[in-house]
Every structure is written in structure tokens, then in C-alpha cells.
Chains A and B, each alone.
Chain A
Amino acid sequence: MKLKMALSILGCVIILTGCWDRIELNDVSIVTGLAVDEGENSKYRLTIEVVNASQFSKNQMGGEAAPALTFTLEGNTISELLHKMNIGITRRLIFSHTRVLYISEGIAKEGIIEFIDFLDRSGQFRNDFNIMITKGEKAEAFVKVTYPIQKVPSLKVHKQTQSFNREWGGDPGVRLTDFISALTSKGRNPVSATLVIKGDPKKGEKSENNMKTSVDTLVEMDGMAIFKDDRLIGYLTVDETRNYFWTQKLKTTSMSVPCSDDEKKPEDEKYMAVTVTETHNKLKVDFTNGKPVLKVKINGETRIEATQCLNDLTKIDTYKDFEEKINRYVAKDIQETIKKVQTEFGVDIFGFGDAFNRQHHKEYKKVENNWDEVFAQAEVEVDINLHLRRSGVRGKTFISEIPRE
């Protein structure tokens, strides 16, 4: 009886107590950003950014300290480096809250497959972090620039890309799985957003940067990078990134559409500000006479936010006229961007190949292996069908009622 009792108590002790893998909160540090550079002596130079959690509590114990901490190591694989970090850092690292992965230009040009595999394979990394290519400075510098509102650099970049993506569409919104599926697909090549530093990166490291109303150093979005397979081959500007995103998953954006059709100097021209509130985008490839024709079809709703044109916005004809102008403007923009990608880079970043595969499987199989060349020569048709719904709380603009000589 006593033996039974003892056994059951022992059983309880083994089964009901905590888990093997337990980690106490005060034993870990949360990593929010990873920056990969070329190493001087070995393959990679990895910088991690760790949150200094005590800086986030309301009653700051221990005074003013930097909101985040960075540490740099060199080595040949990323995973080894990550485990080796405790050379200089006290606690164990956890990566499930990683927000941004910065990759320097140099590494990206040589190919990034090798360490992307680790991120894909590891159970610790989630799919919700941004992949960013850093231009100009080393990637290392980007995890050190602080910002007054989001004090941790990577959290700032993450929030910034999210807002930019939602408000204007200047960030392609690439996550790890998007990147990998674009890599493996023959009908599509990966892209990723890029960042630059405005100002002196050395000044940005100090928290004095946060004391100013106009900060010395700022990390800014700078369009996107285009990859051929896993190698970086070129960049698009922010405006072109938006045009690229029109063909993908754009929800809202805004633009200035010229009032008149004839070309003028930008400063003479009058514009209307148009906000797109909802869109639906479809890529199609038609196969006629043995040649694929790339088609983009966009439907959506817009509204006018401001107008410098004198047309009367209470008339149906004005709405119709404006609608046509908006459609033409957007179509021209998208057409130009696709043409530029075709001629300058010759890689299909839009996913036309995937669409072709879905729509004309047999024909696609024939050109699958040299799809990018076929893409570069294909014709493009852009069909925009945006509806103008309303124009704010005023009908006519007061500009039209100012007496003029």
C-alpha cells in the first residue's frame, strides 16, 4: 500500500510538473531584427538586435538606457552564429518575435538561398517578418537607427512598412513564404522591399536622435529590389513599386491625375487628388497566334479628395470624364512599369507565368524553361475599370467661383 502511494506520488511528480523545454522569462532576450552582411574573414557577418525590455515599462527602473542592443559576430552559417551569440550576450535568444530581416546589397547580389533555407526550416522563425534589402550603408547600420515613437529600430521598420503598404501601396508586402514560393516557381521571380538611411548613421545610434523634433537620421523606404532567381539584379523606385503593387494586392492608394489631356510642364498643370478605396486585380495571359499577350485587369472604386480642376462636380458628365482620365492615367503608369521591367531586367516579377500556367497549361509547359525571355518580348495590355463614386462633402469647388478677370 505504501509502495503504491509512493509510486503514485512519484508519478505525479514526473507527469504533472513543468516541461522539459521550459525557459524562464528572465533567462531570455527577445530578438527583433537580424542583419546579414558580408564577412571580412568568413562568409557572413550577422548583427542581431535585442529588445531591452525594461525600457518599455512605465516606471523606468535604472534610468535612461538604449531601447535595444545590437551585437555582431562573423561566421560561416547563420544558425551557428545565432547559437554562438552568447559570446557577448548574457541571455538565451528567442526568435519567434523577429520582425525584420535586413540583407545587405552585397550579399543579395551573390545569392541568398543558403541562409534562407535555415529561416524556412527553423521552427522558431515565424512567417510574419519583412525581408528588406538595405541600400548604401551596411545592413548592420540599419538596426542601430532609433526613432522616437517606436524606439526599437526593427519594430519601427515593421510598422512603417505595414502602414505604407495599407495607405499607399509602396511596399510590396513580401514575407518569407512569398519569397520562397516565388523562388521555386518558374513563372515568377522574387522581389523584396528596400531601405535607405537618410542622414548620418553614426548620429542615429545615439538616443539623442530621439530628443529632436526633426530627427537627424531616419530609415526610409526606397522602393523594391528585383531578383533573378536568388540574385539581386536591380531596383525599382517607390512610384514604380506602387505600380507593381497595383497588379498584385493593392487595396488603397492615392494619386494626382492631371486635369487636361495635353502634355504640359508639371508646374503649369492642374491636378485632382484621387484616392482608391477598393480594388480587385486579375492577371491574365492570352495565347493568340502562338504568342502570349499579358493582360492586367483592374476593377475598383475611387473618390476625389481634392481638385484643382474647374469642372462642376455635380454633373454626371464631369464624373464620366474624370473616370476616363483616371483610368487612362493608371493604365499608362502600369504599362510603363511593366515595359521597364521587361526591357531593363527581363524577369517576370508579376507572376504572369503562374497565371499562364493556370490558364493555358499545355502552352505554358512548352515555354516554361525560358519563360523570362518569352515574358520580355510579350505584349502588354492593361485594362483599368475604376469607378469614381463621390467627391467629399462639397459639390462644386470654390475655386470655380472666385471671380477672375
Chain B
Amino acid sequence: MVTFLFTFILMASIGVITMFDLYLYEETLLSILDANIFFEKGTSQWMLYVNLLFGFFYGMVVDYRFRKSKKSSKSS
């Protein structure tokens, strides 16, 4: 659930900023999406992606532990 909401919210927020960019710039949707989703070399934005990956895996671990504790509480 955490992982799912994480991905969902990430995509939705990218959608929000893409919407604003569309409003401000006269560019095609695809080029804006490209700029918002991927990163260019030569910037330090790779850090953000490492951070996001960390968040993603953290969410998976949390989910896994939550499910495990639920199962054990049911069986006991």
C-alpha cells in the first residue's frame, strides 16, 4: 500500500507540475514530460533519483513488514 501510494503520488505530482509547465511554456506535452521525468547529464539531479529509489525501497520494506506482522497477529 505504501509503495502503491508512493508511486501514485509521485506520478500525480509530476502531472501537476507538467500541467503548470504546459500553461507557462509553449512546448509540446512530450518534451515537457521528458524534462520532468528524466534527468540530463551535467546536472546534479541524479541525487534526486537516488533519493527516490531509496524512498521506493523503504516503502517496500515497510509494506513487507506490515504484512508479516498482520499475518502473525492473525495466526496467534
A→B interface (CB under 8 Å): 278-282, 298-301, 316, 385, 387
Contacts and interface: CB of A to CB of B under 8 A. Distances in A.
Contacts of B44: 278
Contact of A298 (B24, B25, B42, B43): B42
B41 interface: yes
A301 B25 contact: no
* SS of B interface (majority): loop
B41 A299 contact: yes
Contacts of B40: 280, 299, 385, 387
A232 to B, nearest CB: 33
Given A280-B40, A281-B42, 17 more contacts: A278-B42, A278-B44, A279-B42, A280-B41, A280-B42, A280-B43, A282-B41, A299-B41, A299-B42, A299-B43, A301-B42, A301-B43, A316-B24, A385-B40, A385-B42, A387-B40, A387-B43
Interface residues of B, number: 7
A296 to B, nearest CB: 13
* SS of A interface (majority): strand
A300 B24 CA distance: 23
Interface string B54-70: 00000000000000000
Nearest to B24: A316
B20 to A, nearest CB: 12
Interface string B1-21: 000000000000000000000
A381 B34 CA distance: 24
A327 to B, nearest CB: 13
A26 to B, nearest CB: 49
A280 B40 CA distance: 9
Contacts of B25: 316
Contacts of A385: 40, 42
Contacts of A298: 42
25 contacts: A278-B42, A278-B43, A278-B44, A279-B42, A280-B40, A280-B41, A280-B42, A280-B43, A281-B42, A282-B41, A298-B42, A299-B40, A299-B41, A299-B42, A299-B43, A300-B42, A300-B43, A301-B42, A301-B43, A316-B24, A316-B25, A385-B40, A385-B42, A387-B40, A387-B43
Contacts of A387: 40, 43
A281 B42 CA distance: 8
From B24, B41, B42, B44, name the one whose CB has the most chain A CB atoms within 10 angstroms. B42
A73 B12 CA distance: 75
A330 to B, nearest CB: 13
Contacts of A279: 42
Interface string B32-59: 0000000011111000000000000000
Contacts of B42: 278-281, 298-301, 385
